[in-house]
Amino acid sequence: MVGTLNELVHLSNTRFGRPRPRHGLSLLYWFASECVSFENHSMLSECDPAEGDFGFHYFQNRYDQYGNKLLPDEDFPYYVVGNLNSPGAEDLPDYVSEDKSTDEHDSNTDRIIVSLDEECFHRVYVTQHHDRSNYDPDATYRISRGLLMIIRRMRLYAFLVEMGYYSYIQYIPPMPVINYRPQTTNTVSSDFTAVTLSSSEPAHNEPPAAQNNDTIIQLDDDTPAQEPLPKKKGFCERFCTIL
């Protein structure tokens, strides 16, 4: 049974159209933006799949080797688009077909299949080739009308980024390690504690001879200053009389 995708995250989880340079996501964006329009609950066709527009051609939905069909039987014919080598595919926009000549990651493997009720799309599916002749049933999903409308309102680049199409890991070189520790030339013995005292700058009018690097420290002392001792008198001053 084919599951239905209703949100962008559902589509992202399927890995449809990835990795780059597969074109399935760009193809789906083109379809939602230019090949379908919405009126009431209908999905109107803005192209003519029955006439082979943009490389559309009839899809038989035949039984595979295991007796299964890729899509459920309907009363409306199926048409498939996405083969960049089909006649008419050259009319697809460049952003869909830009990697046409690239075989990397099976870049031309994605397809959109629609069932057409005259001028309206009845159902829309995305799928991918399993080999050159068969499609992968495990990679086949129905795209809801609501999801098509969400994609239609987005810009192509934003849609591809949202789907992880451009995901990569950017290498950032490590920053160089710079040692800012100042270099010292004086060695202080471990028996002493080094103390750094800050002194004010010398006055600009002070003579150069008076300027030095010595720091004068004045310690506060609560002990009152002592009076000077009286000078002892000499022998003559004590016993001689001035005549």
pLDDT tens per residue across span 146-192: 999 999 999 999 999 999 998 754 434 555 555 555 555 554 444 44
Q: Give the pTM.
A: 0.69
What is the pLDDT at residue 77?
97
At 217 the pLDDT is 41
Instruction: For the chain, list residues with pLDDT below 70.
Output: 105, 168-243
- When the pLDDT of each residue in the chain is averaged and rounded to a whole number, the result is 79
**Predicted pLDDT of residue 177:** 53
pLDDT of residue 58: 97
For 46, the token pair is 């803005």
pLDDT of amino acid 187: 44
83 Cβ partners below 8 Å, 6+ apart? 55, 89, 108, 111
